[in-house]
Chain A
Amino acid sequence: AQSVTQLDSHVSVSEGTPVLLRCNYSSSYSPSLFWYVQHPNKGLQLLLKYTSAATLVKGINGFEAEFKKSETSFHLTKPSAHMSDAAEYFCVVTSFSGGYNKLIFGAGTRLAVHP
């Protein structure tokens, strides 16, 4: 069965400093992995996705993630945090069966950005 574990429930950084949100995955086959962001009162927005192409994936708003099979990790990073990055972030793995994809979400990491 597919699953993801987000290692930190809360992360707090200062504006302009790097961001690291950690995610480990478990999958019985080569996974597709995603990071979604959820701002208050807004829908889930796709940040980036890994689908077995390049292991370093670049997303929107300066975020990127690296797929490391040996470590079963897919950590999200950003070189310099902005106040607008404060939100809930979800690491997601797909479960593919019956001809469609179901998304399996982690519990989320709340990112706080301080001035």
Chain B
Amino acid sequence: DTGVSQNPRHKITKRGQNVTFRCDPISEHNRLYWYRQTLGQGPEFLTYFQNEAQLEKSRLLSDRFSAERPKGSFSTLEIQRTEQGDSAMYLCASSSGQGYMGRGYTFGSGTRLTVV
């Protein structure tokens, strides 16, 4: 198992374009999270999946953002009509659901989005 994989590592896009990021969690983890990290700040929670169900969405996730996790495996995060304020590092994490805090989060290396 190679951990949590995120693709692409970097994405540069023009304002107004749509972008999609992919996250492949650790295979036995049923919980998947997306976080966003802007320059000089700590990561902020965006959304949470348990298996294929999206159970919570942060108010940070505007209508232009959509996340899916078909079949409870990989997840995608799509941003429509990108704005310069969307420039950030998008982090994915996964965890198992066993016990309090499960076995902890494992984070991917992130996708860095730059909107020009």
Our verdict on whether A and B bind, yes or no, reads yes
B72-116 contact mask (Cβ, 8 Å, vs A): 1 or 0: 000000000000000000010101010011101101111000000
- Taking a contact as CB atoms under 8 Å apart, the answer to whether B48 and A51 are in contact is no
- Taking a contact as CB atoms under 8 Å apart, the answer to whether B42 and A106 are in contact is yes
Which of A16-50 touch B at CB < 8 Å? 32, 41-46, 49
Complex: chain B residue closest to A32, CB-CB: B101
Q: In terms of DSSP, what is the predominant structure of the interface of chain A?
A: strand
Chain A residues within an 8 Å CB radius of B41: 107-108
A93-111 contact mask (Cβ, 8 Å, vs B): 1 or 0: 0100010111111111000
Smallest CB–CB gap between A65 and chain B, Å?
16
Residue A67 interfacial (CB < 8 Å): no
Number of interface residues of B (CB under 8 A): 28
B3-19 contact mask (Cβ, 8 Å, vs A): 1 or 0: 11000000000000000
Chain B residues within an 8 Å CB radius of A32: 100-101
Chain B residues within an 8 Å CB radius of A90: 42-43
Complex: chain B residue closest to A94, CB-CB: B101
Which of A68-115 touch B at CB < 8 Å? 90, 92, 94, 98, 100-108
Q: Which residues of B contact A (CB under 8 A)?
A: 3-4, 31, 33, 35, 40-45, 48, 50, 55-56, 91, 93, 95, 97, 100-102, 104-105, 107-110
